[in-house]
Amino acid sequence: MIMKHFITLAFTALLSISALAQTKINGIYYNLDDDTKTASVANKPSDLYKGEIVIPETVSAGYEYTVTEIGEGAFYYCKELTSVTLPNTITTIATNAFYDASALNYISIPASVVNFGNFIFNGSGIEEITLLATVPPSVTEKTFKNFAINDIVLEVPEGSVSVYEADAVWGKFKSIIPFPVCNEPVDQLPTAIENIAVKNVVSVLGNTISVQNAKNVAVYNVMGACISKNNTTTVANTGVYFVIADGKSYTVCVK
């Protein structure tokens, strides 16, 4: 009876492990949950993330999995990580997600994120955060513990600044400012490919947007969300994007 019980427990544990397996897909490690068909971005200490990382909404590995989580310690100690683009499917940023990612100085957090772990930016180089939720997500003091939020700029949707300022945690950021929203209809906008004057400043190759000879750059999607502040931005989806470079606005089409 004891041996039978042990075998049952071992089999149950094996099922749990097989239901949550780590897989590398297009340079990113995921924990794949076969039961829920969801994926969590994972850390691989022997193969740390570097440069610009674009996380897709879904990944395929036999089945299609929706990427819903930046897992615990996903970008832990990734000191050469400079940019992370999060999809609108992410609902959770787990504990220590960006711990000690010292070269990461900016991130845009989708409105879909409702669960925040502890110490998520501890030791990171974050100087500015864009948060797309119109209502402040629920967080605790531990979410930003050992992270000097009183030195960090927070960008939020227009009309939500006062709400964030009144929040017990979010209100502690150095300054809370509205991010610009682009409201011009997409079907009436020119593309960088069609506008010759833009070619010397902004160019598109594949799914990468490049900005030349500009110091202050911001790339926005059609919803007005700032997705990058880098001169080179790789986007996850095709479509129209807005680029502001040294105060001038450009529109590009990623096909």
Determine the Cα–Cα distance for residues 51 and 84; give it in Å rounded to an integer: 9
**pLDDT tops 50 at residue 4:** no
Q: How many percent of the chain have pLDDT more than 90?
A: 49
What is the largest distance, in Å, between two alpha-carbon atoms of the chain? 80
Q: How much is the pLDDT for 198?
A: 56
Burial of 4 per CB tally in 10 Å (0-12, 13-18, 19+): exposed
Determine the Cα–Cα distance for residues 19 and 42; give it in Å rounded to an integer: 15
Q: How much is the pLDDT for 107?
A: 92
**pLDDT tops 90 at residue 39:** yes
**pLDDT tops 50 at residue 183:** no
Mean pLDDT, rounded, for 231-236: 80
183 vs 45: which has the higher pLDDT: 45
Mean pLDDT, rounded, for 189-206: 60
Q: How much is the pLDDT for 191?
A: 47
User: In the beta sheet, which residues pair with residue 241?
Assistant: 252
Q: How much is the pLDDT for 199?
A: 58
Tell me the C-alpha to C-alpha distance, in Å, between residue 89 and each of 23, 49, 110, 119: 19, 21, 8, 22
Determine the Cα–Cα distance for residues 1 and 57; give it in Å rounded to an integer: 47
**pLDDT tops 70 at residue 85:** yes
Q: How much is the pLDDT for 12?
A: 37
Instruction: Report the 10 Å Cβ neighbour count for 104.
Output: 23
Mean pLDDT, rounded, for 218-241: 79
Q: How much is the pLDDT for 17?
A: 34
pTM over 0.85: no
Q: How much is the pLDDT for 117?
A: 96
Residue 218 contacts residue 229 (beta carbons within 8 Å): yes
Domains, the chain, with CATH or none: 2-178 (3.80.10.10), 186-254 (2.60.40)
Mean pLDDT, rounded, for 151-169: 92
Q: Which of 131-140, 173-182, 202-211 has the highest mean pLDDT?
A: 131-140
